[in-house]
Structure 1
Amino acid sequence: MKVLKYACASICLLFSLLSSGCMSAQTDKYVELDSDSQQTAFYEERFTELDAMYYMNGRVDMTVAQVYINDMENAINGDSLKKADCARLYALQGLIGLLKGDTSFARDRLNLSRAAFKGDVRASVLEERLNRKKSGSKKHNENALFIIEDALNSYSEKDYAASVAYFDEAFLLLDSFYQDNYRSLRDFCWSMRSTAKVNGDSNYDKLLTKNKITVENMLELAASRGDLMYAYTAGKAVSSSVLYKRVAQAGDLTSCQSAYKNQGPLSKDATVSKTVCARFLWNLWNKKKNTQDQLNKYSAMFVDASMQSPVPDVRRDSADFDAVLGVVENDLMHLEDGINFAGDKTVSAVEFIELLQKFN
């Protein structure tokens, strides 16, 4: 990993400082250090794992975080690291402490990092986070780690398109583990890049983080997508209960198979699976295209009892046979392995929004 450093006042002094122990004092800054020790690189990777977890989930595993802090402390006290490496580990300790919510510890580690070796970029990142300042273009142009900071700041501000751009730029410049660890966060931003902020609605923001959603949640998300649900909202904000009632009465939550219509609509509290999505999306798709006469076209094609379903895990006589085949053929949803639909698999809020983006 490349780490930027500042110009030295003296090459000889720099050499002697890098060769000395962690705790002796010095004041020079460095311009560029082309490789970290394996030990600091290891903890850099561990930190990015925790960092990505924090930004995605709003928390970290406290036990794991403390283990990393303790391990770094042992490494620092082991007399085998150069001063620059000690500075990096102190800064990483502080960053992890900040993820844990321990600001006092983070500031203490920042001071130790500065004392060990000034100019470490992670110490600068820690200082930025402690001061709650967004790194500007000047700083992120100096070091790729500040581009990651811009990506994270943009994510926090729900500027998802900018966050994607920053992540992609940083991934080109940094070691592969940055991409591995921040990939889920970057992909979330990609999914959300065209999602407008909903008046700072914290409930909506919280909904977006759910790995499992209910039918009622699904309809709320659909209603947030422009005029997709205009027939039920007339462009106005409606409560989730009213929205559910209108959609259910319209039949969009009921099987399009005549043999199952008497089962009625899906419950508003039902967990959304791929099959539930298929039912709603197939009904909505045909309503928007004004092709309700095509709702049962697959059943008509496979009317002969001897014919096998083209999707092995979706029975020809199942309640959502037409819906599954319809969403797959129209590329609204996909087969998990190219063969089976895996209809029982739950759908997250972000995954559902990705499906909605396929509507014209």
Structure 2
Amino acid sequence: MATVAKRCECANGVTDKRKRDRIWSKCPHTVTVYWRNGGRGSRLQTATFKKKEYDGDHWGAANRWAKKVEGARALEEVVKAPKRKQRPFKEAAEAFLATRIGSESTTAHYGYSLRNHVYDFHVDGIRFGDLGETEVSREHVKALVKHCEGRFAPNTVATIYIAVSAVFADLRESKVIETSPCVNVALPAHVESRVFVSPTLEQLDILASRLHGPWQLSVYFGHAAGMRIGEALAVRMNQLVEGNEGYVLRINRQVLKANTLAPLKHRKPEEFREVPVADFLYEKIINHAEAYSIGEDGFLCPGKSAPHPHRPTYYEDFRDGVGAAELPEEFVFHWLRHDFAARCIRDKMPLPQLARIMGHKNSMITERVYWHLLQGSVASARQMLNQQYEKMHLAA
């Protein structure tokens, strides 16, 4: 038996079938016909009818299709869902990337995630990129997330998911689909909720020693300046500037995974971020520049045969260094950045200042990411309160 129904919420709570059908007949949302060509164990078939495709008679078109299904089943014929003229997901996603308004670096990150992790993923024997833009279901997205969860860190899985979700959000705004298949898809636990391991300086040196020579300085940029990996790989020698209060790095670019330069996160191309340079890091930079003959405007961490490092090759060296330094297997470059922030918080650096150094959009983001470090202990709070009352008694 073929069932005709809608998934919209227009008739929620209406139990009377006639009233429900009357409400559905007037609302503009799509109508779906459900049927099986075999018994209960056979695959559920669906056909969706949109108002714009049937001159406003999508409800009648759905009923006519249901009658066709019933007639064919009576003759034991197989009925396949009608094919709609639609773009493959890959084509729809590329169109979204080409017309997206927003940060160039974000668009590039979306493109990298989609092209390297989504399009070629096979689900039900079909490449994800070949699925129709209206055919992708929540189950398809869940299968993609499950596949990525077994291969990547939680942050990377979230990045891939966000790229897919952005495409469907755009399709929804364009009225191509009614609801996004990415809604309420559970993601693996985010790295920000984990307890990070703080490497010793000895471990840091071992980790750096396993990287290709000119890349070794990037480890210290992460640990001593809180830089992201892309930022560390894009630093030039002439960005080391002596100011009134000491040396700073004025960074304004990051290397994306596609080995291209882009503006910093949350900043326009002409904007830069000042990062204070500790004496420890200054000495590392000077020694590094002399050892590898880095010119005044040269990149401090250049690629082997290209201006910038090939990220997969970089990560191979980094993983080797993690093992040699006996750090946890899940240790990633971003942990160096988190360790920098944790040390600044422990040493009572004001949150707005830390937010500026880290390149966060505002201090609220810094507070959210490092809330577990900002809470302090009950003992420290008790000590602080005792000191307050001791001062009040002395004043009295």
The higher radius of gyration belongs to 2
Higher strand share: 2
Give the TM-score of the pair, scaled to structure 2.
0.27
Give the TM-score of the pair, scaled to structure 1.
0.29
